[in-house]
Amino acid sequence: MFDFFKSKSKEPVELCFSTDIHCHIVPGVDDGSPDASTSADLIERMQSWGIRRIIASPHVTQYVFENTEETISPAMKALHEELERRGNEIEVTHSAEYRIDELFAQRLADDDLWLLPNRHILIENAFMQEPWNLNQLVFDLQVRGLKPILAHPERYMYYYGHLDRYKTLHDSGLAFQINLLSLAGAYGKAEKKIAQQLMDKGLVDFIGTDLHKASHADTIDKYLRTSEARKHMDVLKAYLKNDTAFV
Ligand SMILES: [Fe+2]
């Protein structure tokens, strides 16, 4: 009997969502997967956690990853061919993770954006300081009928001494997407603590894996075998919109 419970406690918990909107599995276009075979391996690992639909989010960052249709289309084609070769029928499309910078301003002005379904858009702050025009940008996006989602708010350390800023931003219509890797402790204790606080305050709208590489998948594999992961999924399943916002 004891052994039965012991082995049962090591069973991985399934994710409480099946659509991932934040991962770097488009091959060779950013700091994520380097090739289609690695991407397909990562996707198979995501499927083992319960992911059934992937909307990948290659970086679009000025000077660093200035992705365009010319870079993304052939990479997606290579990925789909590899998945087909393996007989894997999972739905994989892409939008992008837009750094708030001048390139983003230009793409927005040109109406040249890879949106998530239903006019959602995934944006990220710089890591050193909050963009000076963030309030205005959220407003401008909304005026265009867009629904901005801030990637990993728990990773911007400049908010840690100003936790009320999270509520202000969220109240202004900026949805929050925390990283599964933050809950797993991959970045550090502070990121994990803030992610949990955002969860407890009901400020989390979406979770993304933010998966870049196999070591990230190893961390998530380990995390999903903890009782903490089970508790997190129980809290989150009540209000997470991953599986409802993009249909
Ligand atoms: Fe990311």
- CA 8, 10, 16, 19: dihedral to nearest 10 degrees? -130
Q: Are 173 and 138 in contact (CB under 8 A)?
A: yes
Domain boundaries along the sequence of the chain? 19-236
What's the fold here for domain 19-236? TIM Barrel (3.20.20)
Ligand 1 mean position, distance from CA 151 (Å): 7
Statement: the pTM of the whole predicted model exceeds 0.75: yes
Nearest to 24, CA basis, from 151, 135, 156: 151
Ligand 1 mean position, distance from CA 213 (Å): 12
What was the pLDDT predicted at 9?
52
What was the pLDDT predicted at 11?
85
Q: Which token pair is 225?
A: 């075998």
Q: Are 210 and 181 in contact (CB under 8 A)?
A: yes
Distance CA 179, CA 188 (A): 12
Counting as low any pLDDT under 50, the low residues of the chain are 1-8
Assign 208 to helix, strand or coil. strand
Ligand 1 mean position, distance from CA 201 (Å): 23
What was the pLDDT predicted at 188?
96
Ligand 1 mean position, distance from CA 136 (Å): 23
